[in-house]
Structure 1
């Protein structure tokens, strides 16, 4: 849990004190595209997609305060930023949810991972089943015997040098790799676990990274950059893109 219990209580109470204008302004600021059927949002990092068991502050709950008709389709991890699509009626929700089940939507993420990984322009795939591991909650792990496969395509975009704060040695330069990730399947924590599996954890990952890999970035460097799917009414393919914030 990223917050102490007392802070969660404070956040929950504070959320109930905001006037309607706050939620209207928030919705406007995060909107990428909107029509009568769909609502494409650029989710900030650090905000839940839906309310949790204790923390009742989320993207969905805020959007519902702006438009009670909004309906959930898919999610991003709290620490991940980027594109999410919501429906504005039941028919659109059913249509797009079916597209996700059939794996029609195309999603592209960008991440920065620790270390120098392959050469720029290299492409490949990671096929390794991912499952939840209850003994290390909330971690997931690669389990070759798990019955649900997980597949991620990747492309190496660049190698970069970053400065991380080391408690003993002060500023220390580290090599990181910028990579495009395309999840073919949609398992929980899939991209984060697949990067660990490859030996290049996503920097700033508070669940899986340690030491310099964790401290080199102030947030998880994972962003849902592109989304492509069919409009539920028009039937035409539509594309959206969000600027990468790191």
Structure 2
């Protein structure tokens, strides 16, 4: 999603003008689970996870207006919707951040990609390094010479017809967490995620009004209780 300078200024001004009640209601609407240590929310598509260089409208900033103690742990792309976990104190933030470093949390996404990809029930992995390409800003690319590997597990769930086009619904599990990893891996296998404003073109872009990528499942250890906890968010597409 791209904005002109004038649009960014208008959005920033509107955000500042909202009353406190707006941010509390927003927090209530996106909350999936909350206790004294963690806050799991369902991020809407089209909203930054954290403030950008110019656009000061984000999930974190809005949650901070409702509870200044909230602390960032991980992010989703602006165009992606779904589950994110925040900490409510420094100890919880450190504990869960270490889990992510050790790749303990389990994340699953659902996506719809352009065209028919394999057969229903097919499973596999995509192992291809992903890096940022400054000449194609903001795109990332597969680079076999890049030293940081990227690994995604997948399962084909179903085939659908969307505005006359065949699309494939897939479950995606990122083992690594590279920026744009799932989006670039789908491009790499020849089936771009539909509605992707950065990577899709033609019918693959216009067949859906938004990026069809949603973080539907999150599993990790509670930083205080020590128990594994799971959260689900049904796909909105």
Number of aligned positions between the proteins: 237
TM-score (ref. length: structure 1): 0.96
SS of equivalent residue, structure 1 residue 121: coil
How much has 1:118 moved relative to structure 2?
Answer: 0.3
Aligned match of 2:180: 189
How much has 1:243 moved relative to structure 2?
Answer: 1.1
SS of equivalent residue, structure 2 residue 57: coil
Aligned match of 2:47: 47
After superposition, what is the alpha-carbon deviation per residue over 1:74-123, rounded to whole angstroms, capped at 9, x for unaligned? 00000000000000000000000000000000000000000000000000
What is the root-mean-square deviation in Å for CA atoms of aligned residues?
0.5
Uncovered stretches (5+) of structure 1, i.e. residues with no partner: 164-172
Aligned match of 2:117: 117
After superposition, what is the alpha-carbon deviation per residue over 1:44-73, rounded to whole angstroms, capped at 9, x for unaligned? 000000000000000000000000000000
SS of equivalent residue, structure 1 residue 82: strand
Alignment of 1:86-125 (within 5 A): 86-125=86-125
Aligned match of 1:170: none
Uncovered stretches (5+) of structure 2, i.e. residues with no partner: none
Cα distance in 1 between the residues matched to 2:4 and 2:135 = 21
Cα distance in 1 between the residues matched to 2:162 and 2:12 = 36
Cα distance in 2 between the residues matched to 1:115 and 1:19 = 45
Cα distance in 2 between the residues matched to 1:34 and 1:162 = 36
- The ranges of structure 1 where at least 4 consecutive aligned residues each deviate by more than 4 angstroms after the TM superposition are none
TM-score (ref. length: structure 2): 1.00
Aligned match of 1:136: 136
How much has 1:181 moved relative to structure 2?
Answer: 0.0
